[in-house]
């Protein structure tokens, strides 16, 4: 599916990590070293290179996901990293139209337009669209804004969604204040803490 890029005048700048001068970048794979953009003045909490690298280190012990879903996609850093490392297709869901422009710009810069689809809509609405004949996803990322209970709410929705196959994997970045130990229909199989960010891995519970 081709992506159509709007040519609105937006103020793009390479995203810098807080307290560092390094650009946020693709860490490994065919796109290694590509710099990603963020929108100046927009409040985003992009996944740091440190946390992103830790996530993909964890994923090495699981089968590689060919179809990837990136929820609350922001700059698209996680989905683009997955494409760089061998995923065949990624769908990005982002609520903000302005963030969506940045996301599309990063997809264009990384030259993965033929492998990417962007949905600009609220995540729960996006899931309903995808559930209508889009198939399932091997790997699902979610990195919602903190302090709103969105990680738990989204995981509950995914727990009963056909988008998650029996062998699918969900990776959730969330606040330490959000307890995700018990989600109906999902089993937490790994959990790590990196400063003020926690990462939880889930798969669908086996039917008894």
pLDDT of residue 101 exceeding 80: yes
- pLDDT digit string (tens) for 58-81? 998 887 789 999 999 999 999 999
End-to-end CA distance of the chain: 39
Specify if 155 maps to a domain: yes
- The model's confidence at residue 87, banded by pLDDT at 50, 70 and 90, is very high
Structural domain of residue 136, as residue ranges? 12-204
Q: What percent of the chain has pLDDT over 90?
A: 67
- pLDDT digit string (tens) for 29-59? 999 999 998 866 544 556 777 888 899 999 9
Specify if 2 maps to a domain: no
Domain count, the chain: 1
Longest dimension (CA), the chain: 55
- The model's confidence at residue 12, banded by pLDDT at 50, 70 and 90, is very low
Q: Give, in order, the Cα–Cα distances in Å from 12 to each of 15, 31, 106, 126, 143.
A: 9, 20, 10, 25, 21
Specify if 6 maps to a domain: no
C-alpha 64/C-alpha 186 separation (Å) is 20
- State the CATH number of the domain containing residue 195: 3.40.50.150
Specify if 7 maps to a domain: no
- pTM as predicted: 0.86
């Amino acid at each position: 599916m081709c992506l159509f890029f709007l040519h609105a005048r937006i103020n793009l700048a390479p995203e810098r990590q807080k307290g560092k001068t390094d650009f946020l970048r693709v860490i490994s794979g065919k796109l290694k070293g590509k710099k990603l953009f963020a929108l100046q003045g927009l409040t985003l909490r992009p996944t740091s290179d440190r946390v992103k690298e830790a996530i993909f280190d964890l994923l090495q012990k699981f089968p590689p996901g060919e179809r990837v879903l990136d929820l609350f996609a922001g700059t698209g850093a996680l989905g683009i990293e997955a494409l760089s490392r061998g995923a065949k297709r990624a769908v990005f869901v982002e609520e903000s139209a302005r963030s969506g422009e940045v996301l599309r710009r990063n997809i264009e810069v990384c030259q993965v337009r033929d492998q990417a689809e962007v949905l600009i809509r609220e995540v729960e609405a996006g899931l309903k669209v995808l559930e209508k004949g889009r198939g399932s996803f091997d790997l699902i990322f979610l990195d919602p804004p903190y302090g709103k209970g969105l990680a738990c709410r989204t995981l509950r929705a995914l727990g009963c969604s056909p988008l998650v196959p029996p062998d699918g994997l969900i990776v959730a970045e969330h606040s330490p204040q959000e307890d995700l130990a018990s989600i109906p229909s999902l089993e937490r199989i790994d959990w790590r803490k990196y400063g003020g960010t926690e990462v939880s891995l889930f798969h669908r519970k086996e039917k008894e």
